[in-house]
């Protein structure tokens, strides 16, 4: 990628004014939290630190002797079963379940942060991104003297795997149109289209929780997974019934969470996309395949500074549920 690293260079390239550009952002101070790992069941602590311009989002395994660094990038993803997982497979090092935290950072337009973590997965918290957005709100956001860059999609790219598809095409701003289809009557067919204008993620998507079926949870536990999963951090279904006593946070919480996951997965591009993503039954694997296909084709995208005209106020999402 041909990155533009400072405002002066960006202005010189486009002939525009410095006020036209959105600036990169980081946190004003460090903040941490602790929670349970969805699969390990162990207590995990993470700390988010401010980082310099063009640093990107980087995880650091503080529990390991050499404290290795893992940039949150699509080409560093080593596993997409049940979650998106960074790491070094040759050394048996991983950092799993990054997608909810990545979605919170994407939704808050945080470009640069160092994330200390003392275990091999990000704590699941309540199964959504809302606790991570709360951390960001607690310390505040600081703008930096460098333009925020986006990957502008120049032509359509589509991938397919086992009947699941994802497509990205040119568009103003960033939009995800997602459709899911389950035999369970509690979910059935749901479709939602969200244009990620300023504030939309926190208002309409961030509280949507991960979900699964009771028989799947039992099978995963038999395989040594989902040890930390509970009704406190996931929506659990038994057939056509939601088992959580409090019910759903949104009538269409399931498709909203799939959009949340996609946003987090796609942020591993290293910067926000400028384009429209259309997905059908997509998951972590297909989301990653889409980034691989897009970024392998140098004619399909360009890196460009983000314009302030791309930011708008909170807009209502478009929902179609069959």
Asked if 118 and 63 touch (Cβ cutoff 8 Å), the reply is yes
Catalytic residue among 39, 284, 285, 312: 284
Q: How far is CA 318 from CA 183, 191, 266, in A?
A: 23, 9, 21
Per-residue DSSP letter, 121: B
User: Is 49 in the active site?
Assistant: no
Cα radius of gyration (the chain): 19
Q: From CA 216, how far away is CA 162, in angstroms rounded?
A: 19
Which residue is it, tokens 């926190």? 202
169 Cβ neighbours under 8 A, 6+ residues apart: 153, 155, 156, 157, 275, 276, 278
Asked if 67 and 56 touch (Cβ cutoff 8 Å), the reply is no
Which residue is it, tokens 């290293």? 270
Indicate which residues carry an active-site annotation. Answer: 284
């Amino acid at each position: 990628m041909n990155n533009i690293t400072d405002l002066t260079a960006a202005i010189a390239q486009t002939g525009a004014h410095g006020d036209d550009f959105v600036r990169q952002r980081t946190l004003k101070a460090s903040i941490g939290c602790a929670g349970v790992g969805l699969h390990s069941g162990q207590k995990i602590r993470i700390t988010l630190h401010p980082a310099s311009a063009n640093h990107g989002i980087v995880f650091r395994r503080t529990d390991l002797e050499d404290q290795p660094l893992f940039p949150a990038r699509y080409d560093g993803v080593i596993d997409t079963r049940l979650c998106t997982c960074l790491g070094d497979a040759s050394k048996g090092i991983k950092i799993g379940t990054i997608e909810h935290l990545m979605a919170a950072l994407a939704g808050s337009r945080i470009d640069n942060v160092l994330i200390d973590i003392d275990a091999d997965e990000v704590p699941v918290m309540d199964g959504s991104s809302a606790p991570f957005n709360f951390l960001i709100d607690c310390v505040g956001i600081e703008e930096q003297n460098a333009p925020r860059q986006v990957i502008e999609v120049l032509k359509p790219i589509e991938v397919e795997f086992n009947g699941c598809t994802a497509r990205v095409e040119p568009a103003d701003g960033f939009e995800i149109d997602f459709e899911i289809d389950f035999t369970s009557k509690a979910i059935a067919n749901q479709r939602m289209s969200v244009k990620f204008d300023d504030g939309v993620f926190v208002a309409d998507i961030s509280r949507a929780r991960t979900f699964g079926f009771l028989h799947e949870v039992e099978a995963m536990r038999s395989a040594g997974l989902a040890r930390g999963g509970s009704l406190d951090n996931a929506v659990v279904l038994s057939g056509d019934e939601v088992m959580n006593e409090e019910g759903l946070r949104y009538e269409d919480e399931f498709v909203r969470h799939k959009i949340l996951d996609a946003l987090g997965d796609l942020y591993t591009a290293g910067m926000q996309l400028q384009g429209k993503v259309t997905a059908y039954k997509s998951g972590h694997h297909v989301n990653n395949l889409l980034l691989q296909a897009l970024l392998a084709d140098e004619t399909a995208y360009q890196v460009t500074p983000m314009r302030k005209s791309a930011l708008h106020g909170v807009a209502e999402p478009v929902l179609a549920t069959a």
